[in-house]
Amino acid sequence: MDIYDNFFEPLISEKEILKRCEELGALITEKYKEDGLVAVGILRGCTLFYTELVKHIHCPLVFDFMFVSSYGNEMVSSGVVKIEKDLETNIKNKHVLLIDDIIDTGKTLANLKEMLQARNPKSIEFCTMLDKKAKRESFVDVKFSAFDIDDCFVVGYGLDYKQFYRNMPFIGKLIDGKQPELDKFLEKFE
């Protein structure tokens, strides 16, 4: 029995994620093929999605990353953006694509976009693996979204629970009522 089976039910398979990355890569390529872009991954959650997605973007492309915190070890975002690692690329007059694992309330990315607008980019757009529209509190125009999901807690493919399960090769939904058992299981690893 896999350790994932005890706590998570599969929601989106790795095969589905890979297929959507290929499709999104083609759409992003079409939009930016003339001008290029700066692909900004929002760490840590974006890593697996970002890595797969950029392989399918065929235009001039600069990699950069930001580490932005708003969750801590909680299951919901505080919406307060704290930049732990800033961009190394000057984004003035460049197209910027912010790539994230999940957008729920939208507060974090709305605040981040406002902060980055002060650096005078040509444009800032959003790409997310998961879009949880039911939780939206701030307007965020997501141009590229792999999957819309209902309001549930998910892990895997970069998404975590208390920094664990990012390496799960699919996106899983926490089984109702399993959080106390999961917390007890993880205590020995913390």
Q: Which residues are catalytic?
A: 104
State which amino acid sits at residue 110. A
Within the chain, residue ranges assigned H as helices are 14-32, 47-54, 107-117, 179-187
Tell me the helices (H) and strands (E) count for the chain, helix number first: 4, 9
> Residues near 2 by Cβ (< 8 Å), separated by ≥ 6?
none
Q: CA–CA separation, 168 vs 146, rounded Å?
A: 18
Neighbours of 156 (CB within 10 A): 25
Supply the DSSP string of 74-104, one letter for each residue.
SSS-----EEEE--SS--TTSEEEEEEEEES
> Tokens standing for 134?
């039911």
